[in-house]
Structure 1
Protein backbone atom coordinates (compact mmCIF):
# COMPACT_ATOMS: atom_id res chain seq x y z
CA UNK A 1 0.00 0.00 0.00
CA UNK A 2 0.98 3.63 -0.42
CA UNK A 3 0.28 5.85 2.55
CA UNK A 4 0.79 9.55 3.27
CA UNK A 5 1.57 10.74 6.80
CA UNK A 6 1.11 14.41 7.65
CA UNK A 7 3.60 15.11 10.44
CA UNK A 8 4.20 18.47 12.08
CA UNK A 9 7.71 19.51 13.14
CA UNK A 10 6.65 19.03 16.77
CA UNK A 11 6.35 15.27 16.16
CA UNK A 12 9.23 14.86 13.73
CA UNK A 13 11.25 12.71 16.15
CA UNK A 14 8.37 11.44 18.27
CA UNK A 15 7.98 7.70 18.71
CA UNK A 16 4.44 8.05 17.49
CA UNK A 17 4.31 8.28 14.47
CA UNK A 18 8.00 7.62 13.64
CA UNK A 19 7.90 4.01 14.85
CA UNK A 20 4.63 3.38 13.01
CA UNK A 21 6.12 4.67 9.77
CA UNK A 22 9.22 2.52 10.30
CA UNK A 23 7.05 -0.54 10.90
CA UNK A 24 4.98 0.04 7.76
CA UNK A 25 8.12 0.45 5.65
CA UNK A 26 9.58 -2.75 7.15
CA UNK A 27 6.44 -4.57 6.05
CA UNK A 28 7.04 -3.40 2.48
CA UNK A 29 4.59 -0.50 2.26
CA UNK A 30 5.45 2.87 0.78
CA UNK A 31 5.07 5.80 3.16
CA UNK A 32 5.34 9.42 2.01
CA UNK A 33 5.80 11.99 4.78
CA UNK A 34 4.59 15.57 4.37
CA UNK A 35 5.50 18.27 6.88
CA UNK A 36 2.68 20.78 6.35
CA UNK A 37 4.17 23.40 8.66
CA UNK A 38 7.56 23.47 6.95
CA UNK A 39 6.86 23.10 3.24
CA UNK A 40 5.41 25.22 0.46
CA UNK A 41 2.54 23.13 -0.82
CA UNK A 42 0.95 23.34 -4.24
CA UNK A 43 -2.53 22.48 -3.06
CA UNK A 44 -3.87 21.69 -6.52
CA UNK A 45 -1.34 18.87 -6.86
CA UNK A 46 -0.39 17.62 -3.41
CA UNK A 47 -3.84 16.09 -2.94
CA UNK A 48 -5.07 14.10 -5.92
CA UNK A 49 -7.54 11.26 -6.20
CA UNK A 50 -5.91 7.84 -6.25
CA UNK A 51 -2.50 9.06 -5.10
CA UNK A 52 -2.55 7.17 -1.78
CA UNK A 53 -4.56 4.41 -0.15
CA UNK A 54 -4.90 6.50 3.02
CA UNK A 55 -3.76 9.75 4.61
CA UNK A 56 -2.82 9.82 8.29
CA UNK A 57 -2.63 12.94 10.45
CA UNK A 58 -0.24 13.52 13.36
CA UNK A 59 -0.13 17.26 13.90
CA UNK A 60 -0.57 19.87 16.59
CA UNK A 61 -3.99 21.40 17.12
CA UNK A 62 -4.46 24.49 15.01
CA UNK A 63 -1.73 23.46 12.57
CA UNK A 64 -2.13 23.32 8.77
CA UNK A 65 -2.20 19.52 8.66
CA UNK A 66 -5.94 19.25 9.21
CA UNK A 67 -6.58 21.45 6.16
CA UNK A 68 -4.60 19.01 4.03
CA UNK A 69 -6.42 16.03 5.52
CA UNK A 70 -9.77 17.66 4.80
CA UNK A 71 -8.62 18.34 1.22
CA UNK A 72 -7.76 14.64 0.84
CA UNK A 73 -11.17 13.65 2.18
CA UNK A 74 -12.86 16.11 -0.20
CA UNK A 75 -11.48 14.27 -3.23
CA UNK A 76 -12.60 10.91 -1.86
CA UNK A 77 -9.42 9.65 -0.21
CA UNK A 78 -9.49 7.59 2.99
CA UNK A 79 -8.26 9.52 6.01
CA UNK A 80 -7.24 8.25 9.45
CA UNK A 81 -9.14 9.38 11.43
CA UNK A 82 -12.12 10.80 9.52
CA UNK A 83 -11.29 14.48 8.88
CA UNK A 84 -14.64 15.75 10.20
CA UNK A 85 -14.28 13.63 13.30
CA UNK A 86 -10.85 15.11 14.02
CA UNK A 87 -12.25 18.62 13.70
CA UNK A 88 -14.95 17.63 16.18
CA UNK A 89 -12.46 16.78 18.94
CA UNK A 90 -9.64 19.24 18.17
CA UNK A 91 -11.95 22.10 19.17
CA UNK A 92 -12.64 21.38 22.85
CA UNK A 93 -15.66 23.69 22.95
CA UNK A 94 -17.20 21.88 19.99
CA UNK A 95 -16.25 18.48 21.46
CA UNK A 96 -18.03 19.36 24.72
CA UNK A 97 -21.19 20.42 22.90
CA UNK A 98 -21.24 17.24 20.82
CA UNK A 99 -20.42 14.95 23.72
CA UNK A 100 -22.91 16.36 26.21
CA UNK A 101 -25.71 16.30 23.64
CA UNK A 102 -24.90 12.69 22.74
CA UNK A 103 -25.00 11.50 26.34
CA UNK A 104 -21.32 11.36 27.27
CA UNK A 105 -20.54 12.06 30.96
CA UNK A 106 -18.78 15.41 30.52
CA UNK A 107 -18.65 18.45 32.80
CA UNK A 108 -20.65 21.59 32.09
CA UNK A 109 -18.43 23.58 29.72
CA UNK A 110 -18.18 27.34 29.30
CA UNK A 111 -16.43 28.95 26.31
CA UNK A 112 -15.11 32.50 26.06
CA UNK A 113 -13.26 34.34 23.31
CA UNK A 114 -11.44 36.51 25.88
CA UNK A 115 -10.61 35.66 29.52
CA UNK A 116 -12.54 38.63 30.91
CA UNK A 117 -15.80 36.91 29.92
CA UNK A 118 -15.07 34.02 32.27
CA UNK A 119 -15.92 36.39 35.14
CA UNK A 120 -19.59 35.78 34.31
CA UNK A 121 -19.34 32.15 35.43
CA UNK A 122 -21.29 31.71 38.69
CA UNK A 123 -19.24 31.38 41.86
CA UNK A 124 -20.93 28.05 42.57
CA UNK A 125 -19.08 26.53 39.59
CA UNK A 126 -15.66 27.09 41.18
CA UNK A 127 -13.04 25.70 41.35
CA UNK A 128 -12.66 25.74 37.56
CA UNK A 129 -10.33 24.00 35.14
CA UNK A 130 -9.46 26.47 32.37
CA UNK A 131 -7.64 25.54 29.16
CA UNK A 132 -7.26 26.67 25.53
CA UNK A 133 -9.95 25.28 23.24
CA UNK A 134 -7.24 24.10 20.83
CA UNK A 135 -4.78 22.89 23.47
CA UNK A 136 -3.07 19.50 23.62
CA UNK A 137 -0.68 17.53 25.85
CA UNK A 138 -1.78 19.48 28.92
CA UNK A 139 -0.68 22.82 27.45
CA UNK A 140 -2.17 25.79 29.26
CA UNK A 141 -4.36 23.77 31.64
CA UNK A 142 -4.76 25.49 35.00
CA UNK A 143 -6.86 25.11 38.12
CA UNK A 144 -8.63 28.31 39.21
CA UNK A 145 -9.88 28.03 42.80
CA UNK A 146 -12.02 31.18 43.05
CA UNK A 147 -13.40 34.22 41.16
CA UNK A 148 -10.75 36.39 42.83
CA UNK A 149 -7.98 34.15 41.55
CA UNK A 150 -9.56 34.18 38.09
CA UNK A 151 -9.43 37.98 38.05
CA UNK A 152 -5.74 37.87 38.98
CA UNK A 153 -5.01 35.38 36.17
CA UNK A 154 -6.61 37.38 33.34
CA UNK A 155 -3.25 38.49 31.96
CA UNK A 156 -1.87 34.95 32.14
CA UNK A 157 -4.87 33.59 30.21
CA UNK A 158 -4.83 36.29 27.53
CA UNK A 159 -3.60 35.55 24.02
CA UNK A 160 -4.56 31.86 24.00
CA UNK A 161 -7.57 32.23 21.72
CA UNK A 162 -10.87 30.63 22.68
CA UNK A 163 -10.85 29.35 26.26
CA UNK A 164 -12.97 26.63 27.81
CA UNK A 165 -13.74 26.32 31.52
CA UNK A 166 -15.24 23.37 33.38
CA UNK A 167 -16.06 22.82 37.06
CA UNK A 168 -13.30 20.81 38.71
CA UNK A 169 -14.20 17.14 39.21
CA UNK A 170 -12.98 15.95 42.65
CA UNK A 171 -10.64 13.01 42.10
CA UNK A 172 -7.60 11.19 43.47
CA UNK A 173 -5.12 13.20 41.39
CA UNK A 174 -4.60 10.28 39.01
CA UNK A 175 -5.76 10.48 35.40
CA UNK A 176 -6.95 7.42 33.51
CA UNK A 177 -6.00 7.49 29.82
CA UNK A 178 -7.85 5.00 27.63
CA UNK A 179 -6.50 4.23 24.17
CA UNK A 180 -8.48 2.62 21.36
CA UNK A 181 -6.50 0.91 18.60
CA UNK A 182 -7.68 -1.83 16.27
CA UNK A 183 -10.94 -2.25 18.15
CA UNK A 184 -9.18 -2.83 21.48
CA UNK A 185 -9.11 -0.62 24.58
CA UNK A 186 -6.06 -0.17 26.80
CA UNK A 187 -5.98 1.80 30.05
CA UNK A 188 -3.04 3.71 31.51
CA UNK A 189 -2.94 5.64 34.75
CA UNK A 190 -0.68 8.65 35.15
CA UNK A 191 -0.23 11.80 37.19
CA UNK A 192 -2.76 14.56 36.53
CA UNK A 193 -1.30 17.81 35.13
CA UNK A 194 -3.35 19.56 37.83
CA UNK A 195 -1.65 17.53 40.57
CA UNK A 196 2.05 17.29 39.59
CA UNK A 197 3.01 16.70 43.23
CA UNK A 198 1.41 13.23 43.15
CA UNK A 199 4.11 10.62 42.60
CA UNK A 200 2.33 8.26 40.18
CA UNK A 201 4.21 5.84 37.96
CA UNK A 202 2.67 5.71 34.49
CA UNK A 203 1.59 2.15 33.86
CA UNK A 204 -1.01 0.03 32.12
CA UNK A 205 -3.89 -0.92 34.41
CA UNK A 206 -7.08 -2.95 34.32
CA UNK A 207 -9.88 -1.01 32.64
CA UNK A 208 -13.06 -0.87 34.77
CA UNK A 209 -16.13 -2.04 32.89
CA UNK A 210 -17.99 1.26 33.35
CA UNK A 211 -15.01 3.20 31.96
CA UNK A 212 -14.66 0.78 29.03
CA UNK A 213 -18.31 1.38 28.14
CA UNK A 214 -17.77 5.15 28.15
CA UNK A 215 -14.56 4.89 26.11
CA UNK A 216 -16.29 2.76 23.49
CA UNK A 217 -19.16 5.26 23.37
CA UNK A 218 -16.66 8.05 22.68
CA UNK A 219 -15.59 6.38 19.43
CA UNK A 220 -19.19 6.08 18.29
CA UNK A 221 -20.13 9.64 19.29
CA UNK A 222 -17.23 11.32 17.49
CA UNK A 223 -16.72 8.79 14.71
CA UNK A 224 -13.12 7.96 15.66
CA UNK A 225 -11.18 4.76 14.99
CA UNK A 226 -7.83 5.57 16.64
CA UNK A 227 -8.18 7.75 19.71
CA UNK A 228 -7.44 8.44 23.35
CA UNK A 229 -9.81 9.47 26.15
CA UNK A 230 -8.87 11.20 29.42
CA UNK A 231 -11.19 9.99 32.16
CA UNK A 232 -11.50 11.04 35.80
CA UNK A 233 -13.11 8.77 38.36
CA UNK A 234 -15.27 11.32 40.14
CA UNK A 235 -17.71 10.87 43.02
CA UNK A 236 -20.55 10.16 40.57
CA UNK A 237 -18.61 7.85 38.27
CA UNK A 238 -16.34 8.28 35.23
CA UNK A 239 -16.16 11.72 33.62
CA UNK A 240 -14.68 12.40 30.16
CA UNK A 241 -12.46 15.48 30.28
CA UNK A 242 -10.61 15.23 26.95
CA UNK A 243 -10.58 13.29 23.68
CA UNK A 244 -7.56 13.03 21.37
CA UNK A 245 -7.26 11.79 17.81
CA UNK A 246 -4.10 9.74 17.11
CA UNK A 247 -2.57 10.04 20.62
CA UNK A 248 0.78 8.71 21.88
CA UNK A 249 -0.50 5.21 22.80
CA UNK A 250 2.06 5.13 25.61
CA UNK A 251 2.12 1.89 27.61
CA UNK A 252 0.16 0.02 24.90
CA UNK A 253 2.06 -3.24 24.22
CA UNK A 254 3.70 -3.27 20.76
CA UNK A 255 1.98 0.06 20.11
CA UNK A 256 3.72 0.79 16.79
CA UNK A 257 2.77 -2.58 15.29
CA UNK A 258 -0.80 -2.38 16.58
CA UNK A 259 -1.30 1.14 15.21
CA UNK A 260 0.33 0.19 11.90
CA UNK A 261 -2.02 -2.79 11.50
CA UNK A 262 -5.00 -0.58 12.33
CA UNK A 263 -3.95 2.00 9.71
CA UNK A 264 -3.57 -0.72 7.07
CA UNK A 265 -7.00 -2.17 7.89
CA UNK A 266 -8.65 1.24 7.61
CA UNK A 267 -6.82 1.87 4.33
CA UNK A 268 -7.86 -1.56 3.02
CA UNK A 269 -11.53 -1.19 3.90
CA UNK A 270 -11.72 2.50 3.04
CA UNK A 271 -13.71 3.00 6.23
CA UNK A 272 -13.52 6.14 8.29
CA UNK A 273 -15.95 7.35 10.88
CA UNK A 274 -17.95 5.57 13.55
CA UNK A 275 -16.44 2.14 14.29
CA UNK A 276 -18.61 -0.76 13.18
CA UNK A 277 -17.49 -2.95 16.08
CA UNK A 278 -17.61 -2.27 19.81
CA UNK A 279 -14.03 -1.85 21.15
CA UNK A 280 -13.03 -4.50 23.69
CA UNK A 281 -11.12 -3.83 26.92
CA UNK A 282 -7.76 -5.60 27.14
CA UNK A 283 -6.41 -6.93 30.45
CA UNK A 284 -2.74 -5.98 31.04
CA UNK A 285 -0.45 -8.99 30.77
CA UNK A 286 1.02 -8.32 34.21
CA UNK A 287 -2.33 -8.91 35.92
CA UNK A 288 -3.72 -11.79 33.84
CA UNK A 289 -4.13 -14.83 36.12
CA UNK A 290 -2.20 -17.92 35.02
CA UNK A 291 -5.46 -19.82 34.42
CA UNK A 292 -6.33 -17.36 31.61
CA UNK A 293 -3.61 -18.04 29.02
CA UNK A 294 -5.92 -17.22 26.15
CA UNK A 295 -6.61 -13.59 27.17
CA UNK A 296 -5.69 -11.06 24.50
CA UNK A 297 -2.82 -8.64 25.05
Structure 2
Protein backbone atom coordinates (compact mmCIF):
# COMPACT_ATOMS: atom_id res chain seq x y z
CA UNK A 1 0.00 0.00 0.00
CA UNK A 2 0.97 3.63 -0.43
CA UNK A 3 0.26 5.81 2.59
CA UNK A 4 0.74 9.50 3.34
CA UNK A 5 1.46 10.68 6.89
CA UNK A 6 0.91 14.35 7.70
CA UNK A 7 3.33 15.07 10.55
CA UNK A 8 3.60 18.45 12.27
CA UNK A 9 7.11 19.63 13.21
CA UNK A 10 6.29 19.19 16.89
CA UNK A 11 5.92 15.43 16.36
CA UNK A 12 8.76 14.99 13.87
CA UNK A 13 10.96 13.09 16.35
CA UNK A 14 8.25 11.53 18.50
CA UNK A 15 7.90 7.78 18.73
CA UNK A 16 4.32 8.18 17.61
CA UNK A 17 4.09 8.28 14.61
CA UNK A 18 7.77 7.75 13.71
CA UNK A 19 7.79 4.13 14.92
CA UNK A 20 4.56 3.42 13.05
CA UNK A 21 6.07 4.79 9.83
CA UNK A 22 9.16 2.63 10.38
CA UNK A 23 7.00 -0.45 11.01
CA UNK A 24 4.86 0.07 7.91
CA UNK A 25 7.97 0.56 5.80
CA UNK A 26 9.47 -2.65 7.23
CA UNK A 27 6.33 -4.49 6.14
CA UNK A 28 6.98 -3.32 2.59
CA UNK A 29 4.51 -0.44 2.33
CA UNK A 30 5.43 2.89 0.78
CA UNK A 31 5.04 5.73 3.28
CA UNK A 32 5.30 9.35 2.18
CA UNK A 33 5.73 11.93 4.94
CA UNK A 34 4.46 15.49 4.51
CA UNK A 35 5.31 18.18 7.06
CA UNK A 36 2.52 20.71 6.50
CA UNK A 37 4.01 23.28 8.85
CA UNK A 38 7.11 23.92 6.75
CA UNK A 39 6.44 22.58 3.25
CA UNK A 40 5.33 24.54 0.19
CA UNK A 41 2.59 22.45 -1.33
CA UNK A 42 1.07 22.66 -4.77
CA UNK A 43 -2.36 21.57 -3.65
CA UNK A 44 -3.54 20.38 -7.07
CA UNK A 45 -0.65 17.89 -7.13
CA UNK A 46 -0.37 17.06 -3.43
CA UNK A 47 -4.02 16.13 -3.02
CA UNK A 48 -5.43 14.13 -5.90
CA UNK A 49 -7.63 11.09 -6.25
CA UNK A 50 -5.75 7.80 -6.35
CA UNK A 51 -2.48 9.22 -5.01
CA UNK A 52 -2.53 7.13 -1.80
CA UNK A 53 -4.53 4.35 -0.20
CA UNK A 54 -4.91 6.41 2.97
CA UNK A 55 -3.80 9.67 4.59
CA UNK A 56 -2.96 9.73 8.29
CA UNK A 57 -2.82 12.87 10.42
CA UNK A 58 -0.55 13.51 13.40
CA UNK A 59 -0.62 17.24 13.94
CA UNK A 60 -1.31 19.86 16.56
CA UNK A 61 -4.78 21.29 17.03
CA UNK A 62 -5.19 24.31 14.79
CA UNK A 63 -2.26 23.27 12.60
CA UNK A 64 -2.40 23.20 8.79
CA UNK A 65 -2.50 19.41 8.61
CA UNK A 66 -6.25 19.16 9.14
CA UNK A 67 -6.90 21.35 6.10
CA UNK A 68 -4.82 18.97 3.98
CA UNK A 69 -6.61 15.96 5.43
CA UNK A 70 -9.99 17.51 4.68
CA UNK A 71 -8.83 18.25 1.13
CA UNK A 72 -7.82 14.61 0.72
CA UNK A 73 -11.20 13.50 2.00
CA UNK A 74 -12.96 15.90 -0.38
CA UNK A 75 -11.36 14.20 -3.42
CA UNK A 76 -12.35 10.75 -2.18
CA UNK A 77 -9.20 9.62 -0.39
CA UNK A 78 -9.43 7.53 2.77
CA UNK A 79 -8.34 9.41 5.89
CA UNK A 80 -7.37 8.08 9.31
CA UNK A 81 -9.31 9.12 11.30
CA UNK A 82 -12.24 10.41 9.27
CA UNK A 83 -11.57 14.12 8.65
CA UNK A 84 -15.00 15.19 9.90
CA UNK A 85 -14.57 13.14 13.06
CA UNK A 86 -11.23 14.80 13.77
CA UNK A 87 -12.77 18.25 13.39
CA UNK A 88 -15.48 17.21 15.83
CA UNK A 89 -13.01 16.49 18.65
CA UNK A 90 -10.26 19.04 17.89
CA UNK A 91 -12.70 21.84 18.74
CA UNK A 92 -13.36 21.13 22.42
CA UNK A 93 -16.44 23.36 22.53
CA UNK A 94 -17.93 21.45 19.61
CA UNK A 95 -16.88 18.13 21.13
CA UNK A 96 -18.63 19.01 24.39
CA UNK A 97 -21.85 19.92 22.60
CA UNK A 98 -21.81 16.71 20.54
CA UNK A 99 -20.93 14.48 23.48
CA UNK A 100 -23.49 15.93 25.89
CA UNK A 101 -26.23 15.72 23.26
CA UNK A 102 -25.47 12.03 22.77
CA UNK A 103 -25.46 11.20 26.48
CA UNK A 104 -21.74 10.94 27.17
CA UNK A 105 -20.78 11.83 30.77
CA UNK A 106 -19.05 15.16 30.04
CA UNK A 107 -19.10 18.03 32.54
CA UNK A 108 -21.21 21.11 31.75
CA UNK A 109 -19.15 23.27 29.40
CA UNK A 110 -19.07 27.03 28.86
CA UNK A 111 -17.43 28.57 25.78
CA UNK A 112 -16.31 32.15 25.21
CA UNK A 113 -14.26 33.98 22.61
CA UNK A 114 -13.16 36.56 25.20
CA UNK A 115 -12.06 35.70 28.77
CA UNK A 116 -14.17 38.43 30.36
CA UNK A 117 -17.28 36.62 29.15
CA UNK A 118 -16.37 33.69 31.40
CA UNK A 119 -16.81 36.02 34.37
CA UNK A 120 -20.56 35.64 33.89
CA UNK A 121 -20.34 32.03 35.09
CA UNK A 122 -22.16 31.70 38.44
CA UNK A 123 -19.88 31.58 41.48
CA UNK A 124 -21.51 28.30 42.51
CA UNK A 125 -19.82 26.62 39.49
CA UNK A 126 -16.30 27.35 40.84
CA UNK A 127 -13.66 26.01 40.94
CA UNK A 128 -13.38 25.87 37.15
CA UNK A 129 -11.02 24.18 34.73
CA UNK A 130 -10.29 26.65 31.92
CA UNK A 131 -8.43 25.73 28.74
CA UNK A 132 -8.14 26.69 25.06
CA UNK A 133 -10.82 25.18 22.85
CA UNK A 134 -8.08 24.03 20.47
CA UNK A 135 -5.61 22.95 23.15
CA UNK A 136 -3.71 19.66 23.27
CA UNK A 137 -1.19 17.83 25.46
CA UNK A 138 -2.34 19.70 28.57
CA UNK A 139 -1.36 23.09 27.12
CA UNK A 140 -2.58 26.10 29.12
CA UNK A 141 -4.98 24.09 31.31
CA UNK A 142 -5.71 26.13 34.44
CA UNK A 143 -7.55 25.37 37.65
CA UNK A 144 -9.34 28.59 38.61
CA UNK A 145 -10.61 28.47 42.19
CA UNK A 146 -12.57 31.74 42.41
CA UNK A 147 -14.12 34.51 40.28
CA UNK A 148 -11.41 36.87 41.55
CA UNK A 149 -8.71 34.57 40.23
CA UNK A 150 -10.50 34.35 36.88
CA UNK A 151 -10.48 38.14 36.62
CA UNK A 152 -6.77 38.19 37.49
CA UNK A 153 -6.06 35.76 34.62
CA UNK A 154 -7.86 37.85 32.01
CA UNK A 155 -4.68 39.06 30.25
CA UNK A 156 -3.13 35.57 30.17
CA UNK A 157 -6.29 33.99 28.82
CA UNK A 158 -6.78 36.68 26.17
CA UNK A 159 -3.96 35.22 24.03
CA UNK A 160 -5.49 31.72 23.93
CA UNK A 161 -8.35 32.43 21.53
CA UNK A 162 -11.59 30.52 22.06
CA UNK A 163 -11.84 29.20 25.61
CA UNK A 164 -13.88 26.58 27.39
CA UNK A 165 -14.59 26.34 31.12
CA UNK A 166 -15.93 23.35 33.04
CA UNK A 167 -16.71 22.89 36.73
CA UNK A 168 -13.85 21.03 38.39
CA UNK A 169 -14.58 17.36 39.01
CA UNK A 170 -13.20 16.32 42.43
CA UNK A 171 -10.83 13.40 41.90
CA UNK A 172 -7.71 11.67 43.18
CA UNK A 173 -5.35 13.65 40.94
CA UNK A 174 -4.95 10.68 38.61
CA UNK A 175 -6.15 10.69 35.00
CA UNK A 176 -7.33 7.42 33.49
CA UNK A 177 -6.40 7.29 29.80
CA UNK A 178 -8.09 4.74 27.59
CA UNK A 179 -6.70 4.08 24.12
CA UNK A 180 -8.56 2.38 21.29
CA UNK A 181 -6.26 0.75 18.75
CA UNK A 182 -6.39 -2.36 16.59
CA UNK A 183 -9.89 -3.17 17.84
CA UNK A 184 -8.94 -3.18 21.52
CA UNK A 185 -9.12 -0.86 24.50
CA UNK A 186 -6.05 -0.33 26.70
CA UNK A 187 -6.13 1.57 29.99
CA UNK A 188 -3.32 3.53 31.61
CA UNK A 189 -3.14 6.03 34.44
CA UNK A 190 -0.93 9.03 35.09
CA UNK A 191 -0.91 12.18 37.20
CA UNK A 192 -3.27 14.93 36.11
CA UNK A 193 -1.64 18.09 34.66
CA UNK A 194 -3.52 19.92 37.44
CA UNK A 195 -2.04 17.78 40.19
CA UNK A 196 0.89 19.25 42.15
CA UNK A 197 2.13 15.70 42.70
CA UNK A 198 3.63 14.29 39.50
CA UNK A 199 4.25 10.92 41.11
CA UNK A 200 2.43 8.72 38.59
CA UNK A 201 4.26 8.94 35.27
CA UNK A 202 2.21 6.32 33.47
CA UNK A 203 1.37 2.69 34.03
CA UNK A 204 -1.05 0.18 32.65
CA UNK A 205 -4.13 -0.66 34.70
CA UNK A 206 -7.15 -2.88 34.41
CA UNK A 207 -10.29 -1.55 32.81
CA UNK A 208 -13.77 -1.77 34.31
CA UNK A 209 -16.80 -2.66 32.20
CA UNK A 210 -18.34 0.74 32.97
CA UNK A 211 -15.37 2.74 31.72
CA UNK A 212 -14.89 0.39 28.76
CA UNK A 213 -18.50 0.99 27.70
CA UNK A 214 -18.00 4.76 27.90
CA UNK A 215 -14.74 4.63 25.94
CA UNK A 216 -16.31 2.51 23.22
CA UNK A 217 -19.32 4.82 23.03
CA UNK A 218 -16.95 7.76 22.53
CA UNK A 219 -15.68 6.14 19.32
CA UNK A 220 -19.22 5.70 18.05
CA UNK A 221 -20.41 9.19 19.01
CA UNK A 222 -17.52 10.96 17.29
CA UNK A 223 -16.91 8.44 14.49
CA UNK A 224 -13.32 7.65 15.53
CA UNK A 225 -11.34 4.44 14.99
CA UNK A 226 -7.97 5.31 16.54
CA UNK A 227 -8.40 7.52 19.59
CA UNK A 228 -7.80 8.17 23.26
CA UNK A 229 -10.18 9.18 26.05
CA UNK A 230 -9.22 10.95 29.29
CA UNK A 231 -11.51 9.91 32.15
CA UNK A 232 -11.73 11.16 35.73
CA UNK A 233 -13.31 9.05 38.44
CA UNK A 234 -15.48 11.63 40.15
CA UNK A 235 -17.83 11.29 43.12
CA UNK A 236 -20.76 10.59 40.77
CA UNK A 237 -18.90 8.16 38.51
CA UNK A 238 -16.61 8.37 35.47
CA UNK A 239 -16.46 11.69 33.59
CA UNK A 240 -14.96 12.19 30.12
CA UNK A 241 -12.73 15.28 30.15
CA UNK A 242 -10.92 14.98 26.80
CA UNK A 243 -10.91 13.03 23.53
CA UNK A 244 -7.84 12.77 21.27
CA UNK A 245 -8.00 11.60 17.67
CA UNK A 246 -4.38 10.35 17.42
CA UNK A 247 -2.84 10.11 20.91
CA UNK A 248 0.57 8.86 21.98
CA UNK A 249 -0.64 5.33 22.83
CA UNK A 250 1.90 5.32 25.67
CA UNK A 251 2.15 2.07 27.62
CA UNK A 252 0.14 0.21 24.94
CA UNK A 253 2.03 -3.05 24.21
CA UNK A 254 3.51 -3.18 20.68
CA UNK A 255 1.84 0.15 19.95
CA UNK A 256 3.62 0.74 16.63
CA UNK A 257 2.56 -2.63 15.22
CA UNK A 258 -0.99 -2.31 16.54
CA UNK A 259 -1.44 1.19 15.11
CA UNK A 260 0.17 0.09 11.84
CA UNK A 261 -2.22 -2.83 11.48
CA UNK A 262 -5.16 -0.57 12.27
CA UNK A 263 -4.09 1.95 9.61
CA UNK A 264 -3.77 -0.81 7.01
CA UNK A 265 -7.17 -2.29 7.87
CA UNK A 266 -8.84 1.13 7.66
CA UNK A 267 -7.14 1.75 4.32
CA UNK A 268 -8.33 -1.61 2.98
CA UNK A 269 -11.95 -1.03 3.94
CA UNK A 270 -11.97 2.63 2.95
CA UNK A 271 -11.96 4.04 6.47
CA UNK A 272 -15.61 3.18 7.17
CA UNK A 273 -16.16 2.68 10.86
CA UNK A 274 -17.82 -0.59 11.72
CA UNK A 275 -21.30 -0.24 13.20
CA UNK A 276 -20.49 -3.10 15.56
CA UNK A 277 -17.86 -1.10 17.40
CA UNK A 278 -18.45 -1.67 21.05
CA UNK A 279 -16.72 -3.50 23.81
CA UNK A 280 -17.09 -5.95 26.63
CA UNK A 281 -14.18 -5.64 29.07
CA UNK A 282 -13.01 -7.64 32.04
CA UNK A 283 -14.87 -6.61 35.17
CA UNK A 284 -11.80 -5.62 37.16
CA UNK A 285 -11.27 -2.56 39.36
CA UNK A 286 -10.78 0.51 37.21
CA UNK A 287 -7.52 1.47 38.89
CA UNK A 288 -5.20 -1.29 39.98
CA UNK A 289 -3.11 -0.36 43.03
CA UNK A 290 0.02 -1.67 41.34
CA UNK A 291 1.09 -1.92 37.69
CA UNK A 292 -0.23 -5.10 36.13
CA UNK A 293 2.00 -7.26 33.92
CA UNK A 294 -0.58 -7.52 31.14
CA UNK A 295 -3.09 -4.76 30.58
CA UNK A 296 -6.71 -5.80 30.57
CA UNK A 297 -8.15 -5.07 27.16
CA UNK A 298 -11.49 -5.43 25.53
CA UNK A 299 -11.95 -6.49 21.93
CA UNK A 300 -14.56 -4.33 20.23
CA UNK A 301 -17.72 -6.36 19.99
CA UNK A 302 -21.37 -5.39 20.07
CA UNK A 303 -23.35 -2.48 21.51
CA UNK A 304 -24.97 -4.87 23.97
CA UNK A 305 -21.55 -6.01 25.21
CA UNK A 306 -20.52 -2.42 25.87
CA UNK A 307 -23.51 -1.73 28.06
CA UNK A 308 -23.26 -5.00 29.94
CA UNK A 309 -26.34 -6.58 28.33
CA UNK A 310 -24.60 -9.82 27.42
2: CA distance between counterparts of 1:111 and 1:265?
37
> Paired residue for 2:293?
286
What SS does structure 2 have at the residue aligned with 1:140? Answer: coil
2: CA distance between counterparts of 1:114 and 1:281?
42
2: CA distance between counterparts of 1:279 and 1:47?
36
Deviation readout 1:75-119 (Å, 9 max, x if unpaired): 111000000000000000000000000000000000000101110
- Provide the TM-score with structure 2 as the length reference: 0.91
Residues 81 and 280 from structure 1, CA distance in 2 versus in 1: closer, same or farther, beyond 3 angstroms?
A: farther
Which ranges in structure 2 are unaligned for 5 or more consecutive residues? 285-290, 300-310
RMSD of Structure 2 on Structure 1 (CA): 1.7
2: CA distance between counterparts of 1:288 and 1:20?
21
What SS does structure 2 have at the residue aligned with 1:99? Answer: helix
Residues 276 and 44 from structure 1, CA distance in 2 versus in 1: closer, same or farther, beyond 3 angstroms?
A: farther
**CA drift at 1:285:** 6.2
Residues 285 and 232 from structure 1, CA distance in 2 versus in 1: closer, same or farther, beyond 3 angstroms?
A: closer
Residues 275 and 246 from structure 1, CA distance in 2 versus in 1: closer, same or farther, beyond 3 angstroms?
A: farther
Which ranges in structure 1 are unaligned for 5 or more consecutive residues? 290-294
2: CA distance between counterparts of 1:9 and 1:177?
25
> Paired residue for 2:128?
128
2: CA distance between counterparts of 1:222 and 1:183?
16
- Provide the TM-score with structure 1 as the length reference: 0.94
Contact 1:48 1:75 in 2 (8 A): yes
> Paired residue for 2:75?
75
Q: Which is worse superposed, 225-234 or 148-157?
A: 148-157
Residues 114 and 288 from structure 1, CA distance in 2 versus in 1: closer, same or farther, beyond 3 angstroms?
A: closer
Give the 4+ runs in structure 1 shifted more than 3 A.
272-276, 279-285
